[in-house]
């Protein structure tokens, strides 16, 4: 039993990341367990996306380690991390503009090589309907609206059914009606056993869906706990609004 839960844990240990003179992350340590729905919040520039980039392998931490189960993944390239079961979406959608929506969807499954071509096609059509883009299968991704691109990204990530999802601002620019559908979808995914780490500025959604909030400010972890506690935490309030210790 302990072995099983260890295998599903994502551990961030003392991770520090610098860019020139800027310290984007300072000694951040967090542990995530399987099945959680965690919100990663903090004011702009607090290091949320940097952390996601470190986990997904686009950046390499200058100091510290990231572990997934028993494997250390901090030095692995992004494509290996994806294959281990950690999928992510981007703040500004990274879809393949001059490929069609269906081609975009097929790619993550094709790289895995587990499914036959026909199965990949079938699954891509399935996901296409799930993300409500059924009419747009043969449209080039560059012709989609911002919100549609976000949906496509989620579809792409779901093609291989990863266990861990890192979602960077999935609601930005999405139609409110669609947002509710998305929230329901994410909640269902979580019920099905997926671990979701959600970066978002939509506080209402975050507070609704997440059982736990992790707050970053200027690259430092300032609070980690249930939403109600975090909401009333002074440090969090001053981080967002500016407080006595702000220079």
Partner 1 sequence: MLFFSQLANALVIGTLYALMSLGLSFIFGVLKLVNFAHGEAIMLGGYLYYLLASLRLPLPLALLASIPALFLFGVFLERLFLRAPYQRKMARYDEYVILVTFALGIFLQNLAFPIFGPYNRQAPPLFKGTIRLGELVIAGDRLTGALIAFAAIGILIFLLYRTYLGKGLRAVAQNPRAASIVGIKVLRMRSAAFGIGVTLAGVAGALFGPIFLVNPEMGTSFAVKAFVIVVLGGMGSVTGSVLGAYILAIVESFGSILLPDPTRALAYKDAYGLLLLVVVLLARPQGLFGEKERRA
Partner 2 sequence: MKGIVPGLLFIAAVAFPLFFREYWLYVATIGLYYAILASSWSMLAGQVGLISFAHAAFAGIGAYTSALLVTHLGLPIPITMLAGALTAALFGLGIGALTLRMRGPYLALTTLAFSEIFRIFITAEYQLTQGSIGLKVPLMLGGSKLLSYYTGLGLFLVTVVTLTGVLRSRVGLFLVAMREDEDGAETRGINTVSYRLIAFVLTSAFAGLAGGYYAHVVGLVSPQMTRIGEMGLILAMSVFGGLESLLGAALGAIILQGLTEYLRIFTEWRLAIFGALVLFTLKFAHEGILPSVYLYADRLLNRWLSRAPR
Residue 59 in the binding site for partner 1 (CB under 8 A): yes
Query: Please, how many CA atoms are within 13 Å of residue 29, restricted to the half-sphere of its CB?
Result: 4
Q: Is 58 in the site for partner 1 (CB under 8 A)?
A: yes
β-strands 10-19, 22-32: how paired?
antiparallel
Binding map of partner 1 across residues 134-153, x = CB under 8 A, - = no contact = --------x-----------
CB of 53 to partner 1, least distance (A): 6
Q: Which does 49 bind (CB under 5 to 8 A by kind): partner 1, partner 2, none?
A: partner 1
Question: Residue from 35, 45, 64, 78 that binds partner 2 (CB under 8 A)?
Answer: 78
Instruction: Compute the distance between CA of residue 202 and CA of residue 179 in angstroms, rounded to an integer.
Output: 11
Distance CA 124, CA 107 (A): 9
Considering CB under 8 A, how many residues would be counted as binding partner 1?
11
Give contact residues for partner 1 (rule: CB under 8 A). 19-20, 49, 53, 58-59, 90, 94, 97-98, 142
Give contact residues for partner 2 (rule: CB under 8 A). 56-58, 77-79, 82-83, 88, 90, 94-99, 103, 106-108, 110-112, 156, 160
């Amino acid at each position: 039993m302990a072995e099983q839960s260890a295998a599903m844990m994502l551990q961030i240990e003392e991770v520090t990341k610098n860019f020139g003179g800027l310290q984007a992350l300072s000694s951040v340590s967090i542990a995530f367990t399987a099945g959680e729905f965690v919100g990663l919040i903090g004011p702009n520039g607090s290091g949320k996306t940097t952390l996601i980039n470190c986990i997904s392998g686009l950046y390499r931490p200058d100091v510290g380690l990231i572990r997934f189960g028993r494997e250390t993944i901090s030095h692995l390239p992004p494509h290996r991390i994806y294959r281990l079961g950690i999928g992510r979406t981007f703040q500004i959608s990274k879809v393949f503009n001059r490929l069609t929506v269906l081609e975009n969807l097929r790619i993550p499954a094709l790289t895995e090589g587990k499914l036959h071509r026909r199965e990949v096609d079938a699954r891509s059509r399935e996901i296409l309907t799930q993300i409500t883009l059924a009419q747009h299968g043969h449209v080039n991704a560059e012709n989609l609206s911002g919100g549609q691109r976000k949906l496509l990204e989620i579809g792409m990530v779901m093609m291989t059914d990863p266990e861990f999802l890192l979602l960077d601002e999935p609601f930005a620019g999405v139609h409110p009606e669609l947002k509710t559908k998305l929230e329901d979808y994410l909640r269902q995914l979580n019920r099905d056993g997926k671990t979701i780490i959600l970066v978002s500025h939509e506080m209402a959604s975050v507070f609704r869906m997440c059982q736990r909030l992790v707050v970053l400010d200027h690259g430092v972890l300032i609070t980690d706990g249930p939403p109600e506690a975090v909401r009333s935490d002074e440090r969090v309030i001053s981080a967002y609004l500016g407080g006595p210790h702000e220079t």
